[in-house]
Structure 1
């Protein structure tokens, strides 16, 4: 049986619920309504957009814990839930559900939240995401015109999708989907292996919009950035430590931060180390002070 250290139990016990946070919403042009939790920043501190991993919501434990503690230190925090085609989405989306939203819809929704913050006089915005949420933040930053809406990016467990490592995908399924698209064949719902899903149900083109994020694609977008980017990876993350992925990240100019003993999801006591790493980034790169003594 694994015992949790006393300091961690105390830290979890005092994790605050943000009393002043409010649920905000945007109605997009296509009629979809997207929602987020929002806590305004104190004084001149930056506001962080924190995005959840694949198929999750803003209630994903690691995201929620980070949001609560950052807000308690006076940082602005906006935690959206990607709609995945569902207005007011509140629950994780099952692998077997029909996934009809292409990847570029993620960046469209993030840009809507950036615009919302700017309309509320927020100018210092940091983009942060976990897993596929990190890729969505990266895609948003690299595709946005100048000046960048972000002052920096914090990318937690930044993955890539490949049959040879990273987020898993089936090579024969990928090859078949690409061939069908090249031939101009009709697009129907298919059954694919993607990430932790053994049966990811989606139209072929939606599947391809996600599966294109291989090593080359992610590294290319990282290299295009003209803002500081920090990539945080756990030393025990067997998904991302394969194929020299961390070494390749460094070649793009991004700063790599290792957290000893942490896995892919930074769950439980590992969330404390992740929080401390992010606070360290904010203190050094954005010249802000925190009051949290933990």
Structure 2
């Protein structure tokens, strides 16, 4: 049973419990996601704004008997970052199988290209890229995008667009249709785990965490090498957010901030000056009382 997840060619997330992976044909539960770590970078002091939107989340993908099959490890996501964070797929021995990131094909980083169209006239647009442990491209996840650029959704709010797994040589390995993952029966080895892991990553996107819980600032030892799995990405994300917060110049206005930046700045100023305002009110009240 422990190998059932990697043998099935059709998988879906259980609509009643998105932490369960089922076989499409039989409905049997083949795996569960069990949260094993929720970690965040230090909050700093009250003067420094908290830049963490969601913490780093690590799940063990387990067989029904509880045996760990692999780890799904999503990086910390910073406030205001419009791009879903990187996810790593890791073997139980700590070996990174692959990483999935959406930055390469984001319009913020020069993405947004169209590869072609389907017979129905829908655009083929890459939305995410898979990398091997040495950061070399393995393949792209390509959306079938409606001409009106809408984003159809499933009843549970997840993305309903068809998604293709394509190698860098243009070979299709799998496809997500109506939320279900269909893997080419010829796909074997680590590619199975990589496709399943990236299917989960694209399904969850901004939907994690589902359960409530406090994040720790102490990094645990979930698997060998856990501490450094997202080090390069975290540095990239910090640099990107510095650029994102800077004002832009456009033809319409000399200074324009990107979405959410001004609100974030105002919230920080309120947080910064609220204690000062309270202190002034108390001082004035005491002064009037003394007089």
- Higher-strand-fraction structure: 2
- Higher-helix-fraction structure: 1
Shared fold by TM > 0.5?
no
Name which one, 1 or 2, has greater alpha-carbon Rg.
2
TM-score by length of 2: 0.30
